[in-house]
Amino acid sequence: MRKIRLAVVIAAALGLNVTGATLWFRPVDGYGWNSPANWLTGAGTAVNRLPQTDDAVLLSSSRIQADTPLVVPGGVTALCQRLTVGEIYNNGSHPVVCIEAGATLRCAGTNLTDRICLGDVGSGTLLLRGGTVTFGHTTATHRNFVLRKSAGVKGILRGWGTVNPTPEVTHVRMENNGTVIADGEGTARDLDLHGIVSTTNTLARGADGSNGWYAVNQGRVLFPRTWINGAASPSSIRCLGDATTRIDPELVNSLRASFTGLPGSGVFFRGGLYATNHPALPPLPKGRCLGVWGLGLYANNTGWETSDLTTFSTVGLTFRYDDAACAESTNLLTLYRYESNAWVKVGARMARPPYRISTKRPLPRLTSGAWNVGLFALMASNTLGTVVLLDDQSETDPNERLVIDKNLSAGNILLERMEDDTIYLQNEMRDTAGWWFYWAFRARGAAGRTLTFSFTNGDPVCTRGPCVSLDQGQTWYYAADSFTTRSFTYTFPPNAQEVWFAMGMVYTQRDWEAFLARHTASSAYIETGTLCTSPAGRAVEKARIGCIDRPPKYRVWLSARHHAAEMMASYVLEGILDAALADTELGTWMRNNVEFMVVPFVDKDGVEEGDQGKNRRPHDHNRDYTEFLYPECVAITNWIATHAQSKLEIVLDIHCPWIRGTYNEWLYQVYTENSENAAAQRRLGELLQEHQRGALDYRLANDLPFGQSWNTAANYSAGRSFKMWALDCVSSNRVCTTYEVPFATANTATVTREACREFGEDTTKVFRLFLQETDPL
Ligand SMILES: [Zn+2]
């Protein structure tokens, strides 16, 4: 008897008029909500049936368990004083309460602690499938509806239905640290929270960063409204979907608006997030849609008619978009507003943390359509390798737009954002293990401007600043106004149509072809061919130069770009061949005695595509002479075996070192562990020091003996280098060496293309001396 009375008293206290029965869910047969045995009267008598229309259900948090959702069917009102889904009694499970269409969940308690909480010490979900949630307590400062009370749990509201169906009740408040998912289940349906007066936010988004607002399956969520006191301030900044006064919206798909010209009264900023397949949306712009928001400023907190809209002058918006929806390949985001039946671009930025995109400038109020702030669509696209627009101020004249892209040979850049006249960017690592420093890009539409380029991922600006070309790479200069190791400022000439910038003086296939074109008069001494086809299908060049119409007295091997980005090496290689083809006594001697076997670009794909090349995973081309993953390395060994019968007098493979610091600001040879060869390298160095003209200020003392600095056995643990393979497998070798040609600074000298070629010519001169003095008697 006592329990019956208790149930009636509680039912009365909760404001329930019961025409059907009052049922308790009290587990007898497990925790199954669908088990009739678990439904009892207040007296503890089994009713042996499930709740049905006109019944009242009294809920207690501790009775809600996982596995079987607790389903409140249509026509049933579920009453609670307070309700926590996911509390300590739930044994760490993730329980779900489901309110079906026509059913109501009423939190009727009137104490400040009486509220609905989804996710407390454990995770919890409230699934609305057309149901309604109401509250008895609507005192100001009362947080009636809490999603995710503690950091390590999930608190989820999902489905469609209404929370507080009487929006004029002004004090239903939400504390949202969790996830709200409007799920229309395939039909255009709203999850309507606009009857909630405000949202606060007390936890960070959580380790997975995914808490916030979502809409799927033709659903749409209507955000809790944000009230703005226009009388107090005609210009106001407010968030929608996050704590109203937050400076930056943090919950996923929440946003911030900055209004001017508000009317002198209280107004309501309201709107919602659409599923991208919502049938009410116009066809979306090109790209992959990350989110669609409809936003308006209203005179009241109830109506959604155009007559309920109110006035303002301008609005600027910042959206905290769903970064998880960006595919790996996404790099450009474009924000559109629907104006006069067309999508108009209102913002663009690169897809990067902190995952916010803003309108480029304040937008005027729209005077037609359902939303006077606007219907916004955020589209993602992948523009890598194509044109990237950062600064889209002048839509009308594409020629006046600033365009920065990597559409040049060996282009390599990732654009992050532009703020005023500073462009933030990164160089691309691609498949490099760790950081490396190569980059190259071009800028158009910047004539007369002074721009600063700031790298955000390291210090990839060389010791003399960026290399600049005004003629698409035919000539290069060190030309920055100023620079640091990670940024530079450049004033574009008033007539500059297109300016190339790179960390070095880019050298690619077209430069090699220009070199060959310079020597067409010497075609009798040049035979070009294809070493092999690269993995990307390119022809990998080879050339025989010099004494090629009969067996030569000496064969000299020349290669470069085992590491794709080491472009200054290529100018030294050119200089060596220039001297061998020159109309000089030295040139004549070389053509009579020496055949050069040349591979100008070992990692051909990496060179053309602008890869770092060095430390490519799983190992780079110059560590491939153990495993032979790369067809170029296989073809090199085959060519040496078949054409030269594995006999070469000199092997020179040319490289460039690190970007700055000791050993990286001078030219040096890398001595081998093999001491006989190291002695030959040293002799070559003596000759170079003695006979060079000094363009690169080479000093014998700068050479790197084996066992010092990076030149140790550990450096080759990933595999054998070309030089080591040649020492092991090529006979009649008099010297087998590598040059490290610095990028910008060589002791007292500045490294230029001309200086590198001059050092190459000196090398040819020294090769002759070395060959002659090492000839057997
Ligand atoms: Zn190298």
Q: Using 50, 70 and 90 to split pLDDT, how confident is the model at 574?
A: very high
CATH 3.40.630.10, the chain: domain bounds? 509-773
Measured in Å, residue 207 CA sits from the centre of ligand 1 at 41
Q: Using 50, 70 and 90 to split pLDDT, how confident is the model at 726?
A: very high
Residue 660 has pLDDT above 90, yes or no: yes
Q: Using 50, 70 and 90 to split pLDDT, how confident is the model at 6?
A: very low
Residue 21 has pLDDT above 80, yes or no: no
Across 347-356, 398-407, 584-593, the highest mean pLDDT is recorded for 584-593
SS3 462: coil
Residue 23 CB neighbour total at 10 angstroms: 24
Tell me the helix, strand and coil percentages in the chain, rounded to 5.
Answer: 20, 35, 50
Measured in Å, residue 432 CA sits from the centre of ligand 1 at 14
pLDDT of residue 181: 97
pLDDT of residue 394: 38
Contact 217, 183 (CB under 8 A): yes
Measured in Å, residue 562 CA sits from the centre of ligand 1 at 6
Architecture of domain 509-773: 3-Layer(aba) Sandwich (3.40)
Task: Enter the CATH code of domain 225-382.
Answer: 2.60.220
Measured in Å, residue 669 CA sits from the centre of ligand 1 at 12
pLDDT tens-digit map of 408-444: 889 999 887 777 788 889 999 999 999 999 999 999 8
pLDDT of residue 360: 87
Measured in Å, residue 671 CA sits from the centre of ligand 1 at 14
Residue 663 has pLDDT above 70, yes or no: yes
Q: Are strands 116-118 and 477-478 parallel, antiparallel or unpaired?
A: unpaired
CATH 2.60.220, the chain: domain bounds? 225-382
Residues β-bridged to residue 699: none
Largest CA distance in the chain: 123
Contact 197, 237 (CB under 8 A): no
Residue 376 has pLDDT above 60, yes or no: yes
pLDDT of residue 56: 83
Across 21-25, 108-112, 386-390, 440-444, the highest mean pLDDT is recorded for 440-444
Q: Using 50, 70 and 90 to split pLDDT, how confident is the model at 479?
A: very high
Measured in Å, residue 702 CA sits from the centre of ligand 1 at 17
pLDDT of residue 66: 63
Measured in Å, residue 588 CA sits from the centre of ligand 1 at 32
pLDDT of residue 512: 97
Give the residue from 119, 182, 168 showing the smallest Cα distance to 145.
119
% of the chain surpassing 70 pLDDT: 92
Q: How far is CA 446 from CA 100, 322, 349, 451, 476, in A?
A: 60, 33, 18, 8, 18
pLDDT of residue 694: 82
- More confident: 718 or 562: 562
Q: Using 50, 70 and 90 to split pLDDT, how confident is the model at 330?
A: low
User: Which of 22-31, 111-120, 562-571 has the weakest average pLDDT?
Assistant: 22-31
Measured in Å, residue 665 CA sits from the centre of ligand 1 at 15
Residues β-bridged to residue 542: 529
39, two tokens: 């439904």
Measured in Å, residue 604 CA sits from the centre of ligand 1 at 14
pLDDT tens-digit map of 241-268: 988 888 888 899 999 999 999 998 899 9
Measured in Å, residue 621 CA sits from the centre of ligand 1 at 9
pLDDT of residue 113: 81
Measured in Å, residue 673 CA sits from the centre of ligand 1 at 18
Contact 490, 391 (CB under 8 A): no
User: Which of 322-331, 584-593, 738-747 has the weakest average pLDDT?
Assistant: 322-331
Q: Using 50, 70 and 90 to split pLDDT, how confident is the model at 4?
A: very low
Measured in Å, residue 565 CA sits from the centre of ligand 1 at 8
Number of DSSP helices (H) and strands (E) in the chain, helices first: 9, 49
pLDDT tens-digit map of 665-718: 999 999 999 999 999 999 999 999 999 998 899 999 999 999 999 999 999 888
Contact 620, 563 (CB under 8 A): yes
Measured in Å, residue 655 CA sits from the centre of ligand 1 at 4
Q: Are strands 266-274 and 56-58 parallel, antiparallel or unpaired?
A: unpaired
Measured in Å, residue 657 CA sits from the centre of ligand 1 at 6
d(CA 580, CA 765): 9
pLDDT of residue 414: 87
Please name the residue that has the structure tokens 């490396």. 436
What are residue 199's phi and psi, to 5 degrees? Answer: -120, 135
What are residue 318's phi and psi, to 5 degrees? Answer: -130, 125
- Residue 531 backbone class (left: φ over 0; alpha: ψ -120 to 50; beta: rest): alpha
pLDDT of residue 336: 96
Measured in Å, residue 495 CA sits from the centre of ligand 1 at 38
pLDDT tens-digit map of 532-554: 999 999 999 999 999 999 999 99
> Judging by beta carbons within 10 Å of its beta carbon (0-12, 13-18, 19+), is residue 187 exposed, middle or buried?
exposed
Average model confidence (pLDDT) for the chain? 89
Q: Using 50, 70 and 90 to split pLDDT, how confident is the model at 14?
A: low
Measured in Å, residue 622 CA sits from the centre of ligand 1 at 7
Q: Using 50, 70 and 90 to split pLDDT, how confident is the model at 53?
A: confident
Mean pLDDT of 754-762: 97
pLDDT of residue 392: 43
Residue 12 has pLDDT above 70, yes or no: no
Spacing of C-alpha 552 from chain mean position = 54
| Residues ≥6 apart with Cβ < 8 Å to 605 | 534, 535, 536, 538, 564, 611
Measured in Å, residue 561 CA sits from the centre of ligand 1 at 7
SS3 103: coil
Compute the radius of gyration of the chain from its Cα atoms.
37
Residue 207 has pLDDT above 50, yes or no: no
Measured in Å, residue 739 CA sits from the centre of ligand 1 at 9
Mean pLDDT of 10-29: 66
Task: Enter the CATH code of domain 389-502.
Answer: 2.60.40.3120
Please name the residue that has the structure tokens 């979900």. 125
Look at the chain and count its residues. 777
Residue 388 has pLDDT above 90, yes or no: no
Mean pLDDT of 339-361: 88
Q: Using 50, 70 and 90 to split pLDDT, how confident is the model at 2?
A: very low
Contact 107, 135 (CB under 8 A): yes
pLDDT of residue 349: 80
Residue 27 has pLDDT above 80, yes or no: no
CATH 2.60.40.3120, the chain: domain bounds? 389-502
